[in-house]
Structure 1
Amino acid sequence: MAAKFSNIAQRLRNIIDVLGQGHDENEMQCIFPQGQTTPERILSNPWYDKGFCEPNQYKAAIDRCKGGYDSCDLFINIFSDRAKIERDYISELEKWSATSIKEISQTKEFGTNKKAWIDAIRASKEIANTHSDIVQRLQENVIDKMANFKKENYGKSILHVKKIKEFERDFEQVQKSWIKLLDKINRAKKEYQDAHRQFKKAETAEKIIESDRGAEEEQKTKVKLSVGTYKKECEALKNKYQQFIEEMKNSRPNYENSMKEVLDRTHTFERKRLAQFKALFTALDQSLVIDKDTHLKEMSDAFKKAINSHDIEKDIQWWNSHFGSDTNTAWPSFEELKD
């Protein structure tokens, strides 16, 4: 896959060079094709490859739930379009049948050929019944079932899907105290590291003034006191920082378990959706299978009946008796002038 992207990028660079446009490597990334097998790291995904327990990383799970809701909608729309194709086909087939029979009726055809032709048109229209059944199965066994599943599992309030909002609130509640602790750790870290930098500067100043032969003892004493003050402050802030780290370590197991508990509930929610999709894919297959459709046999029987009724010699004889050699020809005979 990497080699494929590399080749695509190289071709694009060649095109850009020909056009005289300059783009750097990072700009090329945004025009990589995003296909079914595109790696997650290339797709637009701000949560990819980060620790789930980090602040706001739970939004990846929320986003998955929202994506599931959207996929249910898409599923319904796609197969509603599929059913519409069937309905349109049925409608067009009926129009074609009516128009064809009318046109055949207006020709000079007659006898068994005309009847067989019209019967064949009527028989071929019977396939509409098969497609009507397909529409019914698609609607009842696929589309309606997904619509019911969505209604039962993705019930909405005015603003949001209730179940997804429930997950989001639970994640936020679990992270609330954890984020406060992380804020304390970050502040303590900054305070400690700032103080440590000041302490290092004070030590450097002390070394400089100690090496300065012209420095007064009072100056040296002040610098030493300053170093001592910074050292004490640094140690106090270090202890505070370490205490928060220890508090975090002690809180971590309970926090992780709580996050995992909510996450597992989103997994269960997603499993249910995926199971529904799998079941409906099977239902879709069964809805479109027509090898056991009774209408096909009826249509075939109607075709056979139409074909069997076709009698070439009968049509020739009928025509011959009405227009051909079997008709009574009015031969001319001598006639006197009548007064």
Structure 2
Amino acid sequence: MNLFSRKTIVPPSSPSVSSTARYGPEAFASNSAYGRGFFELGAYSVALKRCESGHDLAQQLADMFEERAQLELTYANQLRAWSHRWHKELTRSQEYGTNKIVWDQTAKTGEPMADVHSTLSASLSESLIPKLRQWRKDRYEKSLLQYKKTNEFEKEFLDAQKSWSKLLDRISECKSAYYSACKTAKLADDAEHTAPADQRKKYADKAEVARREIGFTKTKYQQAVNEVKEQRPRYESAMKEVFERTQAFEKERLEFFKETYDEYSKLLETATLDNPILKKMNDDYKASLSTHNPQQDLAWWDQNYGTQTNSRWPEYEEYRD
């Protein structure tokens, strides 16, 4: 027998999420992977995990930009070395006249190209990356085993579920008592029917007591289920309040990431000015950036992870042999 019942609902997918996604939240965020709805005991842990992951994602983004900055700097240094080496080679060569002048100028083109890449590297290293790392440090302050914000949310969720958990325990106890009374009554009835004639009265009295116990425990069980139904709106409201705070916390992360992408786009725009191929690359990037929608991402997450998931709620279940 199950304490809960649940209808089967397929959560809607977000139009912003590719149906072929294999990695990241899209690959496992469907609530069916967890088998529990958000309002079930302990299921809020997925919201805490998202808070924890925010720190790691910020670290990954900073690492990615740092790698790009190093690549740009390495390439800039290689271009300068290439330019200097061939200028020096040409100085010692037997070449002459206008051909030597143009050849030398060809080698010198490495210098301004190197400046473009070193400028991008410096902008990333001196502005964007430090800002991102400082934001992560300020936002995810550590407290023993957890980040302080995660610990705060966990305490709030536990507090919201405290009284609800007691109600569920009461249902479980009342249900067990009712089922036990039903089994006892069945045994008493069987004993009454098979008892010798001189003992039948004694067994009949026991069977009657057992049947009265069924009525008593059934009423207690039904009352417990009804109380849970009455308390459900209050419980949902308390859980939603905490959930919305986790949503707001995540929204700040998404918006900061969007600001970071925007700053990166501006750096690219400066570095790719007057280059039609690179300009198209940056235009495509800005077009992608224009689709960045934190509110849509949060709504999708809510559908798959949060308060819109299909939770199991306690219902009365009649005893069956």
TM-score (structure 2 length as normaliser): 0.71
| Native 8 Å contact 2:55 2:136 kept in 1 | yes
| Native 8 Å contact 1:199 1:234 kept in 2 | yes
CA positional deviation for 1:247: 2.8
Tell me which residue corresponds to 1:155: 141
Q: Does 1:35 align with 2:28?
A: no
CA positional deviation for 1:69: 1.8
Tell me which residue corresponds to 1:194: 180
Tell me which residue corresponds to 2:7: none
Q: Which amino acid aligns with 2:273?
A: K
Distance 1:107 1:135 in 2: 34
Change (3 A) 1:40 1:231: farther
Gaps of 5+ in 2: 1-19, 276-321
Distance 2:240 2:52 in 1: 19
Distance 1:39 1:135 in 2: 32
| Native 8 Å contact 2:87 2:107 kept in 1 | yes
| Native 8 Å contact 2:80 2:110 kept in 1 | no
SS in 1 for 2:179: helix
- Taking the TM superposition and a 5 Å limit, the aligned residue runs for 1:170-189 are 170-189=156-175
RMSD of the alignment, in Å? 2.7
Distance 1:47 1:58 in 2: 14
Q: Does 1:239 align with 2:219?
A: yes
Change (3 A) 1:198 1:34: farther
Distance 2:94 2:214 in 1: 111
Distance 1:108 1:129 in 2: 30
| Native 8 Å contact 1:40 1:48 kept in 2 | no
Tell me which residue corresponds to 2:279: none
SS in 1 for 2:248: helix
TM-score (structure 1 length as normaliser): 0.68
SS in 1 for 2:109: helix
Change (3 A) 1:55 1:165: same
Q: Which has the larger radius of gyration?
A: 1
Tell me which residue corresponds to 1:260: 240
Q: Does 1:52 align with 2:32?
A: no
Identity within the alignment, %: 35
Tell me which residue corresponds to 1:288: 268
2:61 to 56, 69, 75: 75
Structure possessing the higher relative contact order (Cα contacts under 8 Å, 6 or more residues apart) = 2
Distance 1:149 1:105 in 2: 51
Distance 1:38 1:287 in 2: 29
Tell me which residue corresponds to 1:169: 155
Distance 2:25 2:256 in 1: 26
Q: Which amino acid aligns with 2:206?
A: S
- Taking the TM superposition and a 5 Å limit, the aligned residue runs for 1:305-324 are none
Tell me which residue corresponds to 1:126: 112
Distance 1:268 1:223 in 2: 65
CA positional deviation for 1:77: 0.7
